[in-house]
Amino acid sequence: MIPGMMSIITAMLGSAYGSLHDVRTANLIRRGLVLFTVGAFLALVLNLLQIQRNVTLFPEEVMTTLLSSAWWIPPCCGTGAAVIGLLYPCLDSHLGEPHKFKREWASVMRCIAVFVGINHASAKLDFANNVQLSLTLAALSLGLWWTFDRSRSGFGLGITTAFLATVITQLLVYNGVYQYTSPDFLYVRSWLPCIFFSGGVTVGNIGRQLAMCELIGEKQQKKQ
């Protein structure tokens, strides 16, 4: 009798665990797709802005492709956004620092607006030299992190994102995939890491908000 009951309980627990695992996997995939879409869309819009202001230059054969831009940029940025957005809540959980600062969609939308504004400033504002522009964008990027994040994990991942993305961009420019007008930091512009940093923080906030919404949904299902 007891062994039979134990086997039934074990089967029920296994089934519940399997269902929970399937739900979390589906949520993870769904979250990744949302982040990919957001990242690809932002990359497309902001890249077209840079091209319009002649900040980045593509070869003529590249400019004849879809939407007058390199087709591979939105998918690459979308993939990066998915990875960064999924890493942020995982790192918060690993460090034992549940992020509760300004956790609402209104704050996330303001963060996106500020990021777009920083990118727009990099293309449109005219400074006496690139050093002044870089310092201004660095201050704005740190202000974005302080206003909408303030976490160690967010700052660390933002710095890591800026470093890796800048190195990758340097390699692409070095190999002639595209180029920057008036490069002042090896092959690129010195303010580029600031854009990548603020972009990483922005995508991270989106990922955190999506993860929090899923967590709230799971808690509500358990109560029911």
The pLDDT tens digits for 171-200 are: 887 777 776 666 666 656 778 899 999 999
How far apart CA 136 and CA 196 sit, in angstroms, is 15
Least Cα distance to 200 among 150, 165, 152 occurs for: 165
How far apart CA 146 and CA 222 sit, in angstroms, is 35
Per-residue pLDDT, 200: 94
Q: What is the DSSP string of 28-68?
A: HHHHHHHHHHHHHHHHHHHHHHHHHTTSEE--HHHHTSGGG
The pLDDT tens digits for 3-18 are: 554 555 454 445 444 4
Q: Where are the domains of the chain?
A: 27-223
Least Cα distance to 145 among 209, 92, 208, 198 occurs for: 198
HSE value, Cβ hemisphere, 13 Å, CA-based, for 2: 0
Residues of the chain with pLDDT under 70: 1-23, 50-70, 97-102, 128, 179-188, 217-224
